[in-house]
Each structure stands twice: as C-alpha cells, then as structure tokens.
Amino acid sequence: MEWVEIDGSYGEGGGQILRTAVALSVITGKAVRIRNIRANRPNPGLRPQHLHGILALKELSNARVKGAQVGSTVLEFIPGKAEPKHIRVPIKTAGSVTLVLQALIPVMAFIGGSFEITGGTDVPWSPPVDYLKNVTLFALGKMGLKAELEIKRRGHYPKGGGLVVGKVEPWEERKPLVALAWKKVERFAGISHATNLPAHVAERQAKAAKERLKELYSVPVEIETEVSRSLGLGSGIVVWAETDSLRLAGDALGKRGKPAEVVGKEAAEELIEQLTPGKAVDKFLGDQLIPFLAFTGGEIGVAEITNHLVTNVWVVERFLGRIFEIEGEIGEPGVVRVVRKAEL
C-alpha cells in the first residue's frame, strides 16, 4: 500500500488540508497519514465538522481509519473500494454543510452518489450553501460535472438544523476549463434569506445590495427573497455576477444588532471587489476548483491568489505529482495553469 504523508500545519494549516487529502486518498486509492492537524489553531486537532467529512468518506470508500476522533492531531486513512451510495451526514451542531460537501463532491464525481446532510447552511468561516449551489456547481458544470443540490431547510449558528440533499452523476466527460478574464457582466442575481425573522429583513438586504450594484453597473439586478422557518434565527445574502465567463460572488451574514442594509451592502461590496481585477474566478472559487482542475486541465484567472489556494495546490501535488503553475503572489490577482493533467 502506497502512503502519502501530509503535514497538516503546512500553509493555511486548516481543515481544508484534511478534506482535500482524504478525498484524494479515496480517488487515487493511496493511503494517507496526516500529522499536526490544525496545529496552529487556538484549538488544535480534529473538530466535529471535520470528523463528519472524514466519516462520510470512510463510508463511501469502505476505508479503515485511525485517529478519527475530536481533538486528534494524527489521522490515518486507508481507502477500500469506493462505490456509489446514499450518504447521510447528521451534524448535530451548526457545523458547515458546505465544508462536508467540499470533501464529498470530488469523490462522488468519480463514482456518483447522493447525500443528505444536516447542519449549518449559512455559518461564519465557510461558503454559504447558495454560493456552492449557484457559483461552484455552475463552474463544475462547465467542466462537465453534473451535480444537483436542494436546500430543504436553513441552519444558522449556533443551532444548525439545516438540511441539504442532492446527488452527483459520475463524471463522464472531463472538460478543460479555460476561464481567464471576464469582458462583460450580463446581469446580477442573488438570494437574500431570513429565517424565523420578519420578511422585511430579507427585502431590506436585497434592496441595499441592488442599490449598491446599480450605482456602478447598468445591467439587470434580480435578487430573490426567501423567508423560512428552522431551529434558530438567521439571515444572509449571496449576490453573483453572470459574466461572459463564469459567475463571481459576494456574500454576507446577518447578526444581532447589524442592520439588514449593512448586510446587503457588504455582500455587494465584496462582489464589486472580486470583479475589480477583471479575472474570471473570484478568490473563494479559486481554491475550490483546484482538485477538479487537476483532472480536466486548463487555466483560470483568479481575483486573488489566497493562502487557501496555494495550500490546496500543495496537497493535490503530494498525491499526483507536479500539476500546476501559479503566476502571481499571494494576496494579488494571478493565473493558475495546469502544466500536466493528472491521470488515474
């Protein structure tokens, strides 16, 4: 059995190293040993949300695992034969549903499968579920990957209780992605939601975002509003630009004492910031595309080369050898190019 050794404190040093490493372990059939898990964080080791992703991949690939408990700083993952299944992930807290999906989707791309995940859909420090559905899956669709996702119920911090279901078709045709720059914004779209809160919260968020975008761009802005019930209170907004290339987005979450207008404007400002360099891919999507790009080839222009992106490239190359070339510095716009496509 071939082993890949990963230092979990490398680069960004967070949970993303785990998600990418364990997903690639399943895809390549190589065992992985990850040490120093989240060593530089205030509470090092595995957190519950990381554990859920690992256990889901264990089930999907009939793996043998050592060190899969909260607080563990070393994990050994030995994949078995992966087969399509319906995976249920019951996160009892507001642990992020989208971060679990960052581990599951790359693996399901190669075998197919469906999922049902409860937890946090719109929580700090992770992509909102509307971003994953409307921006990430849109880009993956251009790469030939068919995946569906439905938000049955929202889940906010601290109670969680969100429910997301979906499926991924086996990736039949892997299309190279060449997305360097956008030339034109065709329209803006978005979703502004309020859960266990008055409808006007969602409406005011949407209105503020729309007004800010209209100040700079004379194209249609269509932001849907959604009012729902769940375990706890929460609101948020994701706005994206439909360009002649991909979609770029900005988002913001509501919190007690923060006016809805501020939330809406914040999301619009973030989107404007991502559009400003003229690159086709926003800084959030850049690192998410890396594991997929390794298998399709192509090149992307990113609004910002982040630490997350560079770390994800490093993890992918521990499994697959040299794949990428990065042009540009961390914190600046740049280009990520596939110089050698991975073969399985």
**Catalytic residue set:** 308
Gap between the Cα atoms of 334 and 327, Å rounded: 5
Gap between the Cα atoms of 71 and 236, Å rounded: 31
Gap between the Cα atoms of 309 and 301, Å rounded: 12
Say if residue 274 carries a ligand binding annotation. no
Prior bond to 220 cis, omega within 30?
no
Question: Any residues with CB less than 8 A from the CB of 31 and at least 6 apart, and which?
Answer: 1, 2, 3, 4, 25, 76, 77, 78, 79
Say if residue 319 carries a ligand binding annotation. no
Gap between the Cα atoms of 15 and 33, Å rounded: 14
Say if residue 49 carries a ligand binding annotation. no
Say if residue 102 carries a ligand binding annotation. yes
* Single-letter amino acid code for the residue at 194: A
Gap between the Cα atoms of 93 and 119, Å rounded: 6
Strands (E), the chain: 3-7, 31-35, 64-66, 75-78, 86-90, 113-119, 147-153, 162-168, 177-179, 185-195, 221-228, 234-243, 247-253, 298-302, 324-327, 334-338
Say if residue 122 carries a ligand binding annotation. no
Say if residue 284 carries a ligand binding annotation. yes
Gap between the Cα atoms of 329 and 220, Å rounded: 34
Of residues 12, 1, 3, 18, the one with CA closest to residue 73: 18
Beta strands 31-35 and 221-228, pairing class: unpaired
Task: List residues forming the annotated binding site.
Answer: 102, 284-288
Task: List residues forming the annotated binding site for ATP.
Answer: 102, 284-288
